[in-house]
Chains A and B, each alone.
Chain A
Amino acid sequence: MQTFYLGVAAFLLLTMVVGLIRIFRGPRQEDRLMAMQLFGTTGVAVLLLLAAAFDASSMRNAALIFAVLAVLAVAAYARGPNRREKEIK
């Protein structure tokens, strides 16, 4: 079971690496933030899987922090319409 969890975690990490392309390409700022948001959720899943594989509860706490703090950066970004329109296709 441990090997299986590790394998799934590695696969999820691979999807994160592939997902980086969306951050590189954009084209909108929101596209990049979406990819970042997907990384956050995938990171939570990877940490939970690693915690189960190695039976380490500290990793589960890191997942908890990821989940709780994910919203802060986007909330700081999306504050009203007071922003320059930039790099729209």
Chain B
Amino acid sequence: MSLAPIFDILLITALLLVSWRLLGNSDLFQAAVLFISFGLFLSLAWVRLQAPDIALAEAAVGAGLTGALLFATLKIVEPKQGRSKNGAQPKSCRLDRAAECPGRMHYILASIFVLGLAGLLLTAVFSLPDTANGLAGLTSGFLAQSGVEHPVTAVLLNFRLYDTWLELGVLLLALLGVLGTRDRLGPQNVTAAQPPNPVLSWLVRGLAPFMLLATVYLLWLGDHAPGGAFQAGVVLAATLVLLWLAGLGSVVRMPRHAWLFSLVAGFSAMLVLALCTTLAPDAVALAYPQSWAKALILLLESVATISIGVILASLTVLVLAGEGEANGAGAAETDGKNGM
């Protein structure tokens, strides 16, 4: 077992090396690739820290969706970046060359803020009691009443349902933000700028059934093992984005009502639950009876998976399509009319 520390030291080295190069880099593309690699290493780190739920989420978000979003954004930013350069020496400011270079003051302010935050975190870590177990004991004590066997799912969908509910709201807000900048009311009829690649369509045709299977599998796992609605939703979103990239229809071909319904299903299901539990006699909001717990959690998780999947897929597709619209304004106009 003496090999485990070696593995951990290597992992920490990789994480530090990647983050150092990632932040101190003036090439945005390299930074994007490094960020995706950082996600891969971080996922391994979560596995080593015995937090498999987070490892699964990081694997799905960091290695999959974030990469697609970063590359899409890069293609929108890059041409502008090239124009402003004009063959002159590239400026040495990082992360945001398209905007005006931030002055030295920004860096000083930012470092004061970061140092303060690091100090607070350090004091928090050192003031932790040595033997305390957090709320783990409390959670496992009430696990039998939660309706599921996996403590993380019990916390997310029963003890702290409020948090999960608001997180779905945050996702909805993010999509609204993207829609606001895109001048359209939804991803309907958004087409990829290029004709789909035959090899990619072939791959996606074969892969998509397995990805849907993985979605259902992760959802089902949440009941008794690491997994659950968020991870399943992200895999669903990745499937939908891949289908769109391969030109095989996806959120862009969903009827508008179905699309809207899937967007709000997760949030409103919990809203309805909150209303019912508030109006019921002698009940606390969102505290549902123990006998219904299992069925309710399953229902909420399924609905949340669909919502998370469709929201994230629409968001990614809109950002990916933004590139084509930024390059060819004409295409954006016709698309916009069809989209109404």
Does A touch B (CB under 8 Å) in the complex?
Answer: yes
Instruction: Spell out A's residues near B (CB within 8 Å).
Output: 2-3, 6-7, 9-10, 13-14, 16-17, 20, 23-24, 26, 29, 32-33, 35-36, 39-40, 43, 46-47, 50, 56-59, 61-62, 64-66, 68-73, 75-84, 86-87
Q: Please measure, in the bound complex, the distance between the C-alpha atom of A7 and the C-alpha atom of B6, giving whole angstroms.
A: 9
A2 to chain B, nearest CB (A): 8
CB pair A61 B64 closer than 8 Å: no
A62-B55, A68-B214 given; A36·B37 CB < 8 A: yes
A43-B40, A80-B195, A84-B78 given; A10·B7 CB < 8 A: yes
CB pair A23 B14 closer than 8 Å: no
Chain A residues within an 8 Å CB radius of B44? 13, 43, 46-47
Chain A residues within an 8 Å CB radius of B52? 56, 58-59, 61-62
A47 to chain B, nearest CB (A): 7
A3-B3, A32-B33, A47-B44 given; A14·B10 CB < 8 A: yes
Is residue B192 contacting chain A, with contact meaning CB distance below 8 A? yes
CB pair B36 A36 closer than 8 Å: yes
Main secondary structure of the interface of B (DSSP, over half): helix
CB pair B79 A84 closer than 8 Å: yes
Chain A residues within an 8 Å CB radius of B185? none
Chain B residues within an 8 Å CB radius of A40? 40, 63
Is residue B298 contacting chain A, with contact meaning CB distance below 8 A? no
A77 to chain B, nearest CB (A): 5
> What 6 new A-B contacts, CB under 8 Å, besides A36-B36, A73-B36?
A23-B21, A23-B37, A50-B47, A61-B226, A68-B235, A84-B82
Chain B residues within an 8 Å CB radius of A86? 29, 78, 82
Measured as residues with beta carbon below 8 angstroms from the partner, the interface class of chain B is 35 or more
Of A43, A57, A58, A64, the contact of B214 (CB 8 Å cutoff): A64
Q: Please measure, in the bound complex, the distance between the C-alpha atom of A9 and the C-alpha atom of B64, giving whole angstroms.
A: 23
10 residue pairs, one from A and one from B, having the closest CB atoms: A80-B194, A73-B67, A69-B64, A58-B52, A76-B68, A58-B226, A10-B7, A32-B33, A6-B3, A65-B59
CB pair B193 A20 closer than 8 Å: no
Interface residues of B in 215-250 (CB under 8 A from A): 217-218, 221, 225-227, 231, 235, 238, 241-242, 245-246
A39-B37, A65-B231 given; A78·B197 CB < 8 A: yes
Chain A residues within an 8 Å CB radius of B59? 62, 65-66, 69
Of A17, A43, A69, the contact of B238 (CB 8 Å cutoff): A69
Chain B residues within an 8 Å CB radius of A56? 52
